[in-house]
Structure 1
Amino acid sequence: MPHEPRPIVQAAPGARILIIGQAPGTRVQASGRPFTDPSGDRLRDWMGVDEAVFYDAGRIAIAPMGFCFPGLDAAGADLPPRKECAPLWQKKLLDQLGDVRLTLLVGLHAQRFHLGSQVRKTMTDTVREAEAFGPDYLPLPHPSWRNSAWLRKNPWFEAKILPMLRCRIKELLQ
């Protein structure tokens, strides 16, 4: 790795919701807290929770597919999660979180790893058919600004998936 590994994970045994993202970006690497960037703002809005709830490890666990910032490509964009991280660490973490009732699979990497052969042909198809993976999993697109065009092109996400997400989150946080 081009830098010292710094795993960015939030977890406690009582968490009922688990967010599995891609990999920490540069801002998250600097802060040491998951989703401390505009993607986190959008994700919290999607979930209908504030920062206090989001960063309460006893309620919401957060574990990216690649636990550490993977570095930047030649164009200065974040690299994808390193392939060796998820097989090495995901199960070990999940085994420690026995109360998880809902896992948000944020982005294609998380969906492919955790849904395996159930993942649909495209990320759009997987998210559109989110109900098929419930109540344990809910696939979501990545909340990055890079997906703003995807969100505009797929208004069903806001109309159908977000109310389902918020309802399930509210139910589990009571």
Structure 2
Amino acid sequence: MDALARLHSEILACRRCELEGLLPHPRPVAYGHMGARVMVIGQAPGVRTMIAGRPFSGPGGKLLRGWIARAGIPLEEQDRRVYFTSLTRCYPGKAPKGKGDRKPSAREVELCSPFLQREIELIDPVLVLLVGSMAIERFLGRMPLAEAVGQLFSRDGRWWLPLPHPSGVSRWLNHPEHRALVEEALERMRELLSSLGL
């Protein structure tokens, strides 16, 4: 617990992106508890997460937490049983064109990477949910979302389950066949949690 608290303090104090001119006013997010056996890795905090200081606090987070509840971890137990984090720790701002938030740059992901690696080492999750294409590519390599979602991967002594980004801006979930893949992924998660006694 002390090691995780120290890591969270380092994350909250981080100003690396500001020093490199990547973000004007960084407000890192760090939250979670030891003992979680499931980890969620998303892309970056949204504006509501930045304000709340709690990962996946916006509408997309509500949808994601609903998926996790349907897979067997009730909402009221998720902050204890699931460790929520992301590739980067600061809200990247609005996308310069179109709707939604800007995707973090490769450099931003690189600067935050040591934090995420230490979280994985400390939490040592049995199952990692990779939310969105950026997180999936980072850990499993590039692949079409429709080929990743619904599959369960075993690598590095862990299980990895890709999920789409639960953003209202994304049109991927508008297709019935894609929603069916999400249901398949949740069923795989439910079966795995049951088999592992989690």
- Tell me the TM-score range normalised by the shorter chain: 0.7 to 0.9
Taking structure 2 as the reference length, what is the TM-score of the superposition? 0.72
Residue in 2 aligned with 1:94?
Answer: 120
1:34 pairs with 2:55: yes
Judged with a 3 Å threshold, the aligned counterparts in structure 2 of structure 1 residues 89 and 35 are, in CA distance, closer, same or farther, namely: same
Figure out how many residues of one structure are paired with residues of the other and give that number: 166
1:16 pairs with 2:16: no
Superposition pairs of residues 100-111 of structure 1, within 5 angstroms: 100-111=125-136
Select the structure of larger CA radius of gyration: 2
Judged with a 3 Å threshold, the aligned counterparts in structure 2 of structure 1 residues 159 and 106 are, in CA distance, closer, same or farther, namely: closer
Partners of 2:40 and 2:83 within 8 A in 1: yes
Amino acid at match of 1:55: D
Partners of 2:88 and 2:113 within 8 A in 1: no
Taking structure 1 as the reference length, what is the TM-score of the superposition? 0.81
Superposition pairs of residues 5-84 of structure 1, within 5 angstroms: 5-48=26-69, 49-56=73-80, 59-75=81-97, 77-81=100-104, 82-84=108-110
1:140 pairs with 2:163: yes
Q: Name the CA distance, whole Å, in 2 between partners of 1:125 and 1:25.
A: 26
Residue 114 of structure 1 aligns to a residue whose secondary structure is: helix
Deviation digits for residues 4-25 of structure 1 (CA, Å, limit 9, x no counterpart): x232233333110000001001
Residue 86 of structure 2 aligns to a residue whose secondary structure is: coil
Q: More relative contact order in 1 or in 2 (CA 8 Å, sep 6+)?
A: 1
Amino acid at match of 1:62: F
Residue 63 of structure 1 aligns to a residue whose secondary structure is: strand
Judged with a 3 Å threshold, the aligned counterparts in structure 2 of structure 1 residues 132 and 18 are, in CA distance, closer, same or farther, namely: closer
Judged with a 3 Å threshold, the aligned counterparts in structure 2 of structure 1 residues 13 and 158 are, in CA distance, closer, same or farther, namely: closer
Deviation digits for residues 93-150 of structure 1 (CA, Å, limit 9, x no counterpart): 212113x10000000111111113xx42x1221214x134476100000111123553
Q: Name the CA distance, whole Å, in 2 between partners of 1:127 and 1:41.
A: 19
Partners of 1:24 and 1:64 within 8 A in 2: yes
1:2 pairs with 2:28: no
Q: Name the CA distance, whole Å, in 2 between partners of 1:148 and 1:46.
A: 18
Q: Name the CA distance, whole Å, in 1 between partners of 2:32 and 2:118.
A: 12
What percentage of residue pairs aligned between the two structures are identical? 30
State the Cα distance separating 1:163 from its structure 2 match: 1.6
The 10-residue stretch of structure 1 (161-170 or 7-16) with the greater mean CA deviation from structure 2: 161-170
Q: What are the ranges of 5 or more consecutive residues in structure 2 without an aligned counterpart?
A: 1-22
Q: Name the CA distance, whole Å, in 1 between partners of 2:194 and 2:66.
A: 13
Partners of 1:46 and 1:165 within 8 A in 2: no
